[in-house]
């Protein structure tokens, strides 16, 4: 009788434990700079994302891969992008393991890995890890074929916010209804998925991958009007104001200076007749972030309405730094920019503001390209809330998979559907989120010939060139006292450069990075930009 009682007790405990597994919601912004949230220094109003930060923690030093689809591949799998086949971009098969143009079968997605723990999984928004985006053709790497139970969004890298051509639900195309706006639709879909959850049954994983604020500059008129007067100050003054707020927040200290503007002209030197268009570009961008924040608010409201918020891990981050790409399909008028009659970007002048205080942009491996705001809330577990963790222990997007598997009590598979699975490259950072320490490790980057290694406080970085071998000179920075990468120490410390270069080469050989392809957006042309 005693044995039976103990068996029943263990069974009851196991059942309760299964029910108490946390729900997981990951919200990913697209091309959003480090300082574009108000809780990271911005003048853009993001009260709902700020509220997540208030109920959780912010990290100072969290990294992505510097580009849309490689970050998505790493986030979904816990592997460096080259190990998934997406070291470059979707749809460009270069016939080498690291560059097949879509995720391979030697990785599992978070959705696939969580299934043994009873999780249901849903995705809403931008997918961007498959080669085929047409309804007819290979769907092996579409969301439903990679472990998700429901999907709504666009499969490619970018689209009109008002009339996206490849809107998809599950495996089927959807028609656009009048009054459609993609950012709202992504949030509405996420809210719907949450509303369908039975709190007494399966836990769930929800991946909300916004296209905002990625180009094209498309926003609702009412949202744009809110910000028109804000940006009349120009990028110089606003960048200084963001930096000062970051210092007050505790995001930057004496170790992180405001980086120079490179070749960006002074706002005072912009002809008065041209300023209105520049103001509106940034106002549209801010409106895109503002609308995304409202959607995040609807998502967290539904979690609370269903009684799920306290036991839900909510993560917010961006896929890369701000985007300096010059995109224009025509000469827009002030009245039409921001509408479906235009297809524009906000360009490097404003991207420099978005990346305050760092230098460089998306695709590059400087801090401005690979560093993201990172917020995590889990009320049931994270008790020291509202704080910024100055951990000096960098974390990376590859860490999300092992962290989620850890809290779900799931073992990372070595075989899945008969395929050998590459080892996970990330590590469990839950202790870090609790204010504790994690084992020291070295992190690595490569995209389009842009390379970097971060080893303790030392960072070795190289900016790609247009021609073979695509690799520029190594630059060496000590992030402990030069977090903005302003003082290149390579000539003063050649031995450290050799040491870190050797480590980077060993990593590259072991993680399918070679042969490096540095083909740039300029060489691929605007056709690729329009389609992705």
Which of 450, 426, 448, 452 lies closest to 439 in space, CA to CA? 426
pLDDT above 90 as % of the chain: 85
Q: Cα–Cα distances in Å, from 153 out to 120, 126, 142, 176, 518?
A: 18, 6, 11, 12, 30
Dig out the tokens for 59 from the structure: 């990290």
pLDDT (0 to 100) of residue 69: 96
- Please say if the pLDDT value at position 212 is more than 50: yes
pLDDT digits (tens, 9 = 90+) for 305-328: 999 999 999 999 999 999 999 999
Higher pLDDT residue, 201 or 319? 319
Which of 316, 402, 310, 299 lies closest to 22 in space, CA to CA? 310
Residue 525 binned pLDDT confidence (cut-offs 50, 70, 90): very low
Task: Find the mean pLDDT for residues 120-137.
Answer: 96
**Cβ atoms < 10 Å from Cβ of 40:** 28
pLDDT above 70 as % of the chain: 93
Backbone angles phi, psi at 337, to 5 degrees: -60, 135
**Is residue 125 within a helix (H) or strand (E), and if so which, with residue range?**
strand 120-126
Distance CA 115, CA 203 (A): 10
The terminus-to-terminus CA distance of the chain in angstroms comes to 65
Residue whose structure tokens are 């007050």: 248
pLDDT (0 to 100) of residue 467: 81
Task: Find the mean pLDDT for residues 242-266.
Answer: 93
Q: Cα–Cα distances in Å, from 196 out to 122, 199, 206, 302?
A: 11, 9, 12, 10
pLDDT (0 to 100) of residue 526: 38
**Cβ atoms < 10 Å from Cβ of 231:** 24
Distance CA 425, CA 87 (A): 14
pLDDT (0 to 100) of residue 519: 62
Q: Where are the domains of the chain?
A: 24-443
pLDDT (0 to 100) of residue 1: 37
For the chain, the average pLDDT equals 92
Distance CA 176, CA 152 (A): 13
Residue whose structure tokens are 């009788």: 1
Q: Please answer whether residues 452 and 65 qualify as being in contact, where contact means their C-beta atoms are separated by less than 8 angstroms.
A: no
Q: Please answer whether residues 243 and 160 qualify as being in contact, where contact means their C-beta atoms are separated by less than 8 angstroms.
A: no
Architecture of the domain delimited by 24-443: 3-Layer(aba) Sandwich (3.40)
- Please say if the pLDDT value at position 396 is more than 70: yes
Distance CA 166, CA 174 (A): 8
Task: Find the mean pLDDT for residues 23-45.
Answer: 98
Distance CA 23, CA 8 (A): 26
56-63 and 395-396 beta bridge pairing? parallel
Higher pLDDT residue, 217 or 4? 217
> Taking CA 159 as the corner, what is the angle to CA 316 and CA 334, rounded to the nearest 5 degrees?
100
Distance CA 436, CA 429 (A): 9
pLDDT (0 to 100) of residue 201: 80
Residue 296 binned pLDDT confidence (cut-offs 50, 70, 90): very high
Q: Please answer whether residues 380 and 371 qualify as being in contact, where contact means their C-beta atoms are separated by less than 8 angstroms.
A: no
pLDDT (0 to 100) of residue 13: 33
Greatest Cα-to-Cα distance within the chain, rounded to the nearest angstrom: 88
Q: What stretches of 426-474 adopt beta strand conformation (E)?
A: 443-447, 450-455, 458-462
Query: Beta partners for 151?
Result: 123
Distance CA 163, CA 161 (A): 6
The two counts, helices (H) then strands (E), for the chain are 16, 17
Residue 144 binned pLDDT confidence (cut-offs 50, 70, 90): very high
Residue 14 binned pLDDT confidence (cut-offs 50, 70, 90): very low
**Is residue 151 within a helix (H) or strand (E), and if so which, with residue range?**
strand 150-154
């Amino acid at each position: 009788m005693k044995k039976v009682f103990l068996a029943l007790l263990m069974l009851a405990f196991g059942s309760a434990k299964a029910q108490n597994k946390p729900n997981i919601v990951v919200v990913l912004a697209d091309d959003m700079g480090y300082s574009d949230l108000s809780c990271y220094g911005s003048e853009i109003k993001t009260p709902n994302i700020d509220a997540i930060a208030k109920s959780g923690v912010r990290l100072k030093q969290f990294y992505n891969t510097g580009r849309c689809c490689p970050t998505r591949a790493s986030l979904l799998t816990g592997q460096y992008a080259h190990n998934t086949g997406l070291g470059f971009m979707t749809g460009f098969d270069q016939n080498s393991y690291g560059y097949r143009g879509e995720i391979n079968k030697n990785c599992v997605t978070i959705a696939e890995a969580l299934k043994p723990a009873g999780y249901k999984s849903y995705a809403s928004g931008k997918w961007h890890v498959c080669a085929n985006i047409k309804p007819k053709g290979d769907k092996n790497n579409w969301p439903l074929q990679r472990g998700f139970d429901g999907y709504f969004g666009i499969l490619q890298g970018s689209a009109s916010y008002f009339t996206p051509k490849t809107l998809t639900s599950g495996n089927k195309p959807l028609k656009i209804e009048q009054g459609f706006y993609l950012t709202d639709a992504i949030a509405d879909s996420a809210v719907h998925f949450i509303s369908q959850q039975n709190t007494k049954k399966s836990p769930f994983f929800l991946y909300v991958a916004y296209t905002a604020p990625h180009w094209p500059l498309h926003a609702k008129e009412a949202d744009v009007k809110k910000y028109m007067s804000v940006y009349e100050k120009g990028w110089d003054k606003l960048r200084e104001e963001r930096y000062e707020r970051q210092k007050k927040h505790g995001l930057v200290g004496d170790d992180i200076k405001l980086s120079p503007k490179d070749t960006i002209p002074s706002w005072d030197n912009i002809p008065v007749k041209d300023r209105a268009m520049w103001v509106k570009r940034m106002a549209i961008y801010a409106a895109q972030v503002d609308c995304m924040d409202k959607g995040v608010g609807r998502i967290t409201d539904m979690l609370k309405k269903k009684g799920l918020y306290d036991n839900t891990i909510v993560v917010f981050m961006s896929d890369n730094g701000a985007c300096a790409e010059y995109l224009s399909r025509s000469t827009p008028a002030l009245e039409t920019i921001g509408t479906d009659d235009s297809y524009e970007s906000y360009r490097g002048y404003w991207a420099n503001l978005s990346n305050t205080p760092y230098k460089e942009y998306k695709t590059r491996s400087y801090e401005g390209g690979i560093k993201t705001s990172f917020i995590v809330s889990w009320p049931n577990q994270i008790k020291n809330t509202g704080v910024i963790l100055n951990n000096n222990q960098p974390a990376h997007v590859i860490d999300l998979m092992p962290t989620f598997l850890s809290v779900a009590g799931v073992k990372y598979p070595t075989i899945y559907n008969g395929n050998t699975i590459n080892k996970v490259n990330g590590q469990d950072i839950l202790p870090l989120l609790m204010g504790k320490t994690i084992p020291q490790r070295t992190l690595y980057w490569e995209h389009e010939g842009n390379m970097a290694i971060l080893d303790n406080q030392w960072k070795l970085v190289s900016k790609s060139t247009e021609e073979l071998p695509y690799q520029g000179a190594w630059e060496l920075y000590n992030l402990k006292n030069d977090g903005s990468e302003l003082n290149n120490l390579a000539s003063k410390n050649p031995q450290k450069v050799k040491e870190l270069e050797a480590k980077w080469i060993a990593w590259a050989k072991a993680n399918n990075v070679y042969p490096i392809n540095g083909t740039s957006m300029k060489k691929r042309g605007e056709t690729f930009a329009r389609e992705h």
